[in-house]
A and B are shown apart, each in its own frame.
Chain A
Amino acid sequence: MNLNRPVIRLLILKDWQLFEKQLAAYVLAGLGALTLLGLARPWAFYLGSLALIVVVVAAACFAISNSLLVERKEQTLAFVMSLPVSPLDFTISKLLGNLLTFGVPFCVLLLGTLVVILSTPLPDGLVILATLLFGHILLAYSVSLAVAMQVESEGWNTFAMIGSMVLVNPFLMALGQIESIQGPIRQDAIAWSLPAALILGAQLLVSVVVLVHTAWWHGRKAAFY
């Protein structure tokens, strides 16, 4: 597999530079949310938690929308085809670029959330719920990214993004029905039960499989269309 690494790097850099402004806004909003949580007041906690979820979901949707859907509309692909890149190079650059632009705010906010739980009087068991919540957002993002790369229909893409992200609500409700998950999150110790570990493992595995399958599927293509 011969990859044109310098061009892939440049394409990722291009996505980063195009997305930098929005990414900066998301990171600032995330810091603002964490600062709200740091005020240690009930209203600030609820507002900060909500802001964190909004920021990470918005970052996920915006990364996909900006780098794939908008580019498709503006027919950037025609320009990319004039570069010395193969479809696989282009796919890899899109995947890595997206993972970078989404990964930065995702990691910052995941870390911030864990810090909130571990450094406040909140029960440490909430780490499990928070990790599963972020696991769901990662999975929803991976599915949306895969759909955006494989399906050109704007309607289906919008459906995939909104549908998968909104599923976070029933997902949380479902977690609330599993006693072996619900019980430990109220405790001050982090005790991963088998169902919780299996769900997290499944989220990570499916995310990776979806992304690898997308890369493999595109890699097999001999032409861009």
Chain B
Amino acid sequence: MPGVSPDAVPADRIHALDHLRALAMLAGVLFHAALAYSPLLAPVWPPADRQTWWGVDALIWLPHLVRMPLFFLIAGYFTASLLERRGMGGLARQRARRILLPFLVAWPLVDGSLALATEWAASAVTQSSPMLRLIRDWLALPDPPGLPPRTGHLWFLYYLLLFGVVLWAVRALGWGGGLARLMARGPQAVAGLLPLVLWPGFMATGSPHPAPESLLPEAWALAVFGPFYALGLGLHGRLDWLTPLRPWLKPAAALCLGLYAVLLDHWTTDATVARTAWATALLEALIAAWGTLLALALGLRWLARPSPLLRYLSASAYWTYLVHLPLLFALQYPMMDLGWPWPLKFATAVSATTALCLLSYELLVRRTPLQRFVG
């Protein structure tokens, strides 16, 4: 994932954040691959398989509620690092090179390849998902209406750009002191306040929250991911700020699991289209806030030692992020008609996608000029 780049990391590299990023990216590949077997997403996910298992939903949504906030938090942290070393002009140039340009180049390629694979699947796959059937009917129309442009899974880059603009505006207006004052209240106060800040954002969207793929800024996404980006900015240079939370790690983990059990109970298969009830939104806000802080604290504690493997995965994370979904769809569509048990399909899709991502990173990015942009 972007937001962290080799040139964004200071000499005294914080391995834990690199490693967290690598694991969060791997969790992303697992998440997207598992959606094909999720009963909750079966009506709307194009490569949804005919075999589903409730346990998939139980396993994937908790990490997902934590994964994206964690990415934004890490991105905010390294943005602050870049800002300190290069100033706003240098940060803007770096963001243009590492986020805007890759976004503009990758967007049509990723969108086109996903559309191509889905159109092929709509006509070729016999064991279609409900969404593929819908697409097939839509394609069969004599003059199918065009779909509005959307960012797809590259929405993360789009929001990083938006948050970059907001950061510049907030600094220009001299409002940066608010974050420092908030951080000065200590981690317990921030941990207590964070869910309340996130709550309205989760209430304003469906549950589980969709990807904010619209080209218009989506208020709920700004409200949910913005605070984590800001927290990352505030944490820069003082990760020990989290130390007072250590005694709370075990109770927080237990609480998150308990809250997640209640959240799973709240969800029904048609919940994705309904407005979130306040209680469900509160559960999501609590899990996202405390789960992310917990993941960060655990990462800083257990992932601080250098690891060549995780370092490599971290370096390839941005490229993996860009290409994994088209590869995954291209692999999962043909598998929909196979009679294999779903765990085998899942394992094949994950291992093949990861292998292809890493192979293409090795061949196309690692030792080429692309390294400066997406390495």
- Mark A residues whose CB is within 8 Å of B: 20-21, 23-25, 27-28, 31, 34-35, 37-39, 112, 115-116, 118-120, 188
- Most chain A beta carbons < 10 A, residue from B145, B150, B165: B165
Evaluate contact between A25 and B165: CB separation under 8 angstroms.
Answer: no
Given A24-B172, A119-B150, CB of A35 within 8 Å of CB of B165: no
A120 to B218, CA, bound (A): 13
A39 to B219, CA, bound (A): 7
Interface of A is mostly: helix
A118 to B172, CA, bound (A): 32
- Most chain A beta carbons < 10 A, residue from B150, B174, B214, B218: B214
Cβ–Cβ < 8 Å partners of A25 in chain B: 169, 173
From the candidates B148, B169, B218, name the one contacting A27 in the complex (CB within 8 A): B169
Q: Tell me the minimal C-beta distance from B105 to chain A in angstroms.
A: 18
From the candidates B166, B172, B222, name the one contacting A21 in the complex (CB within 8 A): B172
Cβ–Cβ < 8 Å partners of B165 in chain A: 27, 31
Evaluate contact between A21 and B215: CB separation under 8 angstroms.
Answer: no
In the complex, chain B residues 168-223 whose Cβ is within 8 Å of any chain A Cβ: 168-174, 214-219, 222
Q: Mark B49-77, 1 if CB is under 8 A from A, else 0.
A: 00000000000000000000000000000
From the candidates A20, A39, A118, name the one contacting B148 in the complex (CB within 8 A): A118
From the candidates B150, B171, B172, B217, name the one contacting A35 in the complex (CB within 8 A): B217
Evaluate contact between B215 and A119: CB separation under 8 angstroms.
Answer: yes
Q: Tell me the minimal C-beta distance from A17 to chain B in angstroms.
A: 9
* Interface flag for B162 (CB, 8 Å): yes
From the candidates A21, A24, A35, A112, name the one contacting B218 in the complex (CB within 8 A): A35
Q: Tell me the minimal C-beta distance from A36 to chain B in angstroms.
A: 8
Q: Interface size class for chain B?
A: 20 to 34
A21 to B176, CA, bound (A): 13
A195 to B150, CA, bound (A): 32
The chain A residue sitting closest to B222, CB to CB, is A35
Evaluate contact between A119 and B172: CB separation under 8 angstroms.
Answer: no
Cβ–Cβ < 8 Å partners of B170 in chain A: 24, 28
Cβ–Cβ < 8 Å partners of B369 in chain A: none
- A-B CB contact pairs (8 Å), 27 listed: A21-B173, A21-B174, A24-B168, A24-B170, A24-B171, A24-B173, A27-B169, A28-B169, A28-B173, A31-B166, A31-B217, A34-B216, A35-B216, A35-B218, A37-B216, A38-B214, A38-B217, A38-B218, A112-B216, A115-B216, A118-B148, A119-B148, A119-B149, A119-B215, A119-B216, A120-B148, A188-B145
Q: Tell me the minimal C-beta distance from B144 to chain A in angstroms.
A: 12
Cβ–Cβ < 8 Å partners of A116 in chain B: 216
A116 to B168, CA, bound (A): 24
Evaluate contact between B215 and A115: CB separation under 8 angstroms.
Answer: yes
Closest 3 CB pairs of A and B: A38-B216, A24-B172, A24-B169
Given A112-B216, A119-B148, A119-B214, CB of A31 within 8 Å of CB of B172: no
In the complex, chain B residues 135-179 whose Cβ is within 8 Å of any chain A Cβ: 145, 148-150, 162, 165-166, 168-174
A90 to B214, CA, bound (A): 43
A115 to B215, CA, bound (A): 7
Evaluate contact between A38 and B219: CB separation under 8 angstroms.
Answer: yes
19 more CB-based (< 8 A) A-B contacts, given A27-B169, A28-B173, A116-B216: A21-B172, A23-B172, A24-B169, A24-B171, A24-B172, A24-B173, A28-B166, A28-B169, A34-B216, A35-B222, A38-B214, A38-B218, A112-B216, A115-B149, A118-B149, A119-B148, A119-B214, A119-B215, A119-B216
